[in-house]
Chains A and B, each alone.
Chain A
Amino acid sequence: MPKITIDNTEIEVETGTSILQAAEQLGIEIPRFCYHDRLSVPANCRMCLVEVEGGPPKPVASCAMACGEGMKVKTDSDMVKKARKGVMEMLLINHPLDCPICDQGGECDLQDQAMGYGFDRSRFHENKRAVPDKDLGPLIKTSMNRCINCTRCVRFAEEIAGTPVLGQFHRGEDAEIGTFIHELVGTELSGNLIDVCPVGALTSKPYAFKARPWELRKTESIDVHDALGSAIRIDARGREVMRILPRLNEDINEEWIDDRTRFSYDGLNKGRLDRPWIRDPDTGKLREASWDEALSYTAHRMEGIQGHEIAALAGDLADVESMVALKDLMTALGSPHLDCRTDGALFDVAERTGYLFNSTIAGIEQADAILLVGTNPRLEGVMVNARIRKAWRDKRVKIGLIGEEADLTYPYKHLGTGSRDLDKISEFFSGAERPLMIVGAGVFARPDGLALHHMMSEMAQKSGAVKEGWNGFNILHRAASRVGALETGFMPGKNGKAFEEIIQGTRNGSVKALYLLGADEFDARSLIGWQTFTIYQGHHGDRGAARADVVLPGAAYSEKDGIYVNTEGRPQMARRASFPPGDAKEDWKILRALSETLGKTLPYDTQAQLRARLFKEWPNLADFGVVHSPSWAAFGEKGKIAEDAFENPVKNFYLANAICRASGTMKACSEAFVQSQSRPYAEAAE
């Protein structure tokens, strides 16, 4: 533990800490371009120079120099200032200084640091070098003249994303960043290249020339495109969401987000339901309606339908509040037919441990053997995959897979393809201290789901994945709403029908009315029987609305305050960044209004009252950001298990939900990365 003095303040740091990190601990800011906490240290920008007394008689790159006992460091001596000014002058020699037309303007490291170390005129009279721009795909816009060759993007692509396609080519004045063979950067983490770029060389293509950072209203929220609940910041101007950026959350996404989270926001403005619609029984076409009309029409059509003839399905993007409101309404109407598993999955929810990501996402780093069962985390939970890669990178952890093979960005052992290979788990985990298994929720989407769930429970116990002080049994869900729905019991009640039975019911007439709360992930049009009165409440004119008899326009995740519970069982709050379009309303309000029209008024008038009701029954949900780990207990039902292979449920990463399907950017990604079939992780488009 060396002791070191920085600017006359003494600090003791861990062995191996760099001077820059030590200074950061003291709150002394050292300018830098190439250094990034989560990437390797190349020390090539030279901006972080400091003076080390008694050390070499020249400035030292503080990011790459480890603290030594008794070092005396000066971070703002004349020598340091002169050195940094020199570096800045060199960097600006070839920089175009086009800040007024640069999208990075206002949030640019180079711009900011030039304020401190820049010279007010140029001594360079020759021509600046020109570097051709690169085509990196539909997401990243390049302006390579602005590049200062810090190589952060190269290191990110190789180290974090695990797709080494970027490099620095040629040398000296000709050095440039690119892919050399005109490849696209086909990683689902590519948007983060924009964040790591300290200048305006890599900027967002969809956001190009749209807004300036100081015009934007920033809302800290969470993502709903997968079940991880990554921390995001929604930047909006007026009603329009202009962009989405990651926020630091060490427990889930560290400081990255995937491309779907970052770039699907244009879907929030397209294909929206902004007024209620009623399907004309004569023409079969939807016509515009007022709220009063739509609600009273619904009440009129529901007349005479018994409670047990009504069913409700919750979709992948529903918040906990609206699902609880819908559940309360269904209970009031006397219906036990609720389900949230619109992928047809069957699993036992009696024990929380049976459907949660028990080890937590950060816990992946502690594991010494990881087994993936029927999941491709690269598509089902990008941040989970990034964690697994991190564990592999740091510790070369042993990784196995039972299921479909895919490029996961790290090497793994393929143990088998389906349920008959599950008995290899014990052997794979033998000798491991903290074995961890990740089971894709899609595995249970088959008739023997419950038996499979039981078998997993047994295997976890037998193989040592669950033991004193360690619970390595994890379910990786894909839908943001799912765990919230399971926690609050949006599941078939006593004698209630599950998803498949509800669909059957619409065909044989036992389900006469069906309520779809944003349920878009199944083909409603061909599956739901023609005579069933279908109400769709949601924000996009997608699959659900296409079948509905009444469409009630709701709010997207960026337009309401809603609780979501992620796959770890961590409740988090998505915040409103803008208002829903037109006549659309927050979802719980719609249900509250409908309950009144149906004569079963729900007992809450404000969201606060609804939450109070929620927290009373499920107090866990009130602890935002906290995981209440359940204790282990066996789950599932014994039964016969078919020997089918596990199939990866995600067919097209970029078009996974209603928001993505409305997004032009996501369509472009799907065309560039999935349909072109050139990406290893891409499967055939839906």
Chain B
Amino acid sequence: MKKPFDLNADYQPAHFEFTPAFMDKARAAISLYPRGRQKSAVMPLLDLAQRQIAQEGAKATPPYGGWISRAAMDHIAEILDMPKVKVYEVATFYSMYNLAPVGTYLVQVCTTTPCWLCGSAEIVKACEDRLEIGMGETTADGKFTLVEVECLGACVNAPMVQVNDDYYEDLSAGAMTEIIDTLAEGMKPQAGSQKGRKASMALSGPTSLEKQAKKAGVA
């Protein structure tokens, strides 16, 4: 579980405003919807707020990852001319919105049945050993937050974790430790399957639709 929303926490900023660059993106998102239906843009705007905070957090010491403060939600409600409470509803519904500060890298380990059958318990242990934190905790340097999540829909390449925007699949304990090492050094590990699998194809190559696979250059 991620840290829950806390209205009175001292980390809640009093003020939030989109930077001009993000405001442009917000306007682009709003323009996708008909006039008068601008509140449909609440989800992209929440995401933009989270990304803006992540950008600011990357430069801070200690660094932090993207999250959405109350001030940000209120700001979005104002932009979209909708009741604040409706923004809170959306923000609390979706698990990809963080309502409390997280580390720069949000490591979300899937432990739902298929991943668990393929050894997610070892992945969890590898993370905990490498980061020296438990589930739901953040490392002292503010770089990593470790959480357990339900199915992320990549069961075919189980076990898997999601770190910020990327999926890392076909993991082993070793591969997991390596990914964290790479991230800790500030570099970006190769996303996707860690065993060289193409998309969700069988490891040994295509077992059906062989012609098409060849044509697409993945076999």
Which A residues are closer than 8 A to B by beta carbons?
Answer: 158, 164-171, 179-182
Contacts and interface: CB of A to CB of B under 8 A. Distances in A.
Nearest to A179: B85
Contacts of A168: 89
A165 to B, nearest CB: 6
B85 A166 contact: yes
B88 A164 contact: no
23 contacts: A164-B83, A164-B85, A164-B86, A165-B83, A165-B85, A166-B85, A167-B85, A167-B86, A167-B89, A168-B89, A169-B88, A169-B89, A169-B93, A170-B92, A170-B93, A171-B92, A171-B93, A180-B7, A180-B85, A181-B7, A181-B70, A181-B84, A182-B7
Contacts of B85: 164-167, 179-180
Nearest to A169: B92
Interface in B84-99: 84-86, 88-89, 92-93
A152 to B, nearest CB: 16
B35 to A, nearest CB: 15
A181 B92 contact: no
B106 to A, nearest CB: 19
Residue of A158, A170, A182 with most partner-chain B CB within 10 A: A170
Contacts of B83: 158, 164-165
B89 to A, nearest CB: 4
Residue of A158, A165, A169, A171 with most partner-chain B CB within 10 A: A169
Nearest to A165: B85
Given A158-B83, A164-B83, A181 B88 contact: yes
Contacts of A158: 83
A468 B181 CA distance: 84
Contacts of B84: 181
A179 B86 CA distance: 10
B1 to A, nearest CB: 10
Given A170-B93, A171-B93, A180 B86 contact: no
Interface in B65-91: 70, 83-86, 88-89
Contacts of B92: 169-171, 180
A214 B92 CA distance: 41
Contacts of B86: 164, 167
A-B pairs with the 8 shortest C-beta distances?
A: A164-B83, A167-B85, A169-B92, A180-B88, A167-B89, A170-B92, A171-B93, A164-B85
Contacts of A165: 83, 85
Interface string B193-206: 00000000000000
B161 to A, nearest CB: 22
Contacts of B88: 167, 169, 180-181
A189 to B, nearest CB: 16
Nearest to A163: B83
Contacts of A180: 5, 7, 85, 88, 92
A345 to B, nearest CB: 38
Contacts of A171: 92-93
Nearest to A166: B85
Given A165-B83, A168-B89, 20 more contacts: A158-B83, A164-B83, A164-B86, A165-B85, A166-B85, A167-B85, A167-B89, A169-B88, A169-B89, A169-B92, A169-B93, A170-B92, A170-B93, A171-B92, A171-B93, A180-B85, A180-B92, A181-B70, A181-B88, A182-B7
A179 B7 CA distance: 12
Contacts of A169: 88-89, 92-93
Nearest to A176: B92
B98 to A, nearest CB: 14
Contacts of A182: 7
B216 to A, nearest CB: 38
Contacts of A167: 85-86, 88-89
A129 B89 CA distance: 20
Nearest to A170: B92
Interface string B162-203: 000000000000000000000000000000000000000000
A305 to B, nearest CB: 62
Nearest to A183: B85
A170 B89 CA distance: 7
Residue of A158, A164, A167, A179 with most partner-chain B CB within 10 A: A167
Residue of B7, B84, B85, B93 with most partner-chain A CB within 10 A: B85
A338 B59 CA distance: 79
Nearest to B83: A164
A158 B93 CA distance: 19
Nearest to B88: A180
Interface in B140-156: none
Interface string B91-120: 011000000000000000000000000000
